[in-house]
Amino acid sequence: MTGLLQVLGVVFGVVLIAVGTLESFFYRDQRFYRLFLIKPEDVPAVRMWTFNLGFYNMVWGVGAIIGALMLTGAEPAAGRALLLFTAAGHVILGVILVLSERRLWASAIAEALLPAVIVALLLL
């Protein structure tokens, strides 16, 4: 089970880092306007929140990866706690996302599904 949790935790972290990179550095790219629900004229106004949100996601992703890798280290309980916190946080954030903007339901599922599996496996 530990190996599966490590793989899922690393995949989760890599996805967060990839999404954070898109948010921080590619929000101006017209291909992603639909994903971010922005219009071309909104790009200057959303710069600050997309840039910061992207880095938040990248930091969360690093936390998930570190937690997953710690599962087989000297302090596996610390790794479980870090991975559980990171995954549970994103389950909550997925719920908040869909509650705040129903059009982002697919993004909310993408944000919460893998972390929900990780939480379930950690708590079994």
pLDDT digits (tens, 9 = 90+) for 86-96: 999 999 999 99
Please, which pLDDT band fits residue 104 given cuts at 50, 70 and 90?
Answer: confident
Of 118, 122, 123, 96, nearest to 13 by C-alpha is 118
Record the tokens describing residue 119, joined without a space. Answer: 């939480």
Q: What is the mean pLDDT of residues 43-66?
A: 92
User: What is the pLDDT, as a whole number, of residue 9?
Assistant: 98
Into how many domains does the chain fold? 1
Of 85, 62, 76, 87, nearest to 8 by C-alpha is 87
3-state secondary structure of 124: coil
For residue 83, the enclosing domain spans 2-123
Contacts of 92 (CB under 8 A, 6+ apart): none
> pTM of the predicted model, to two decimals?
0.89
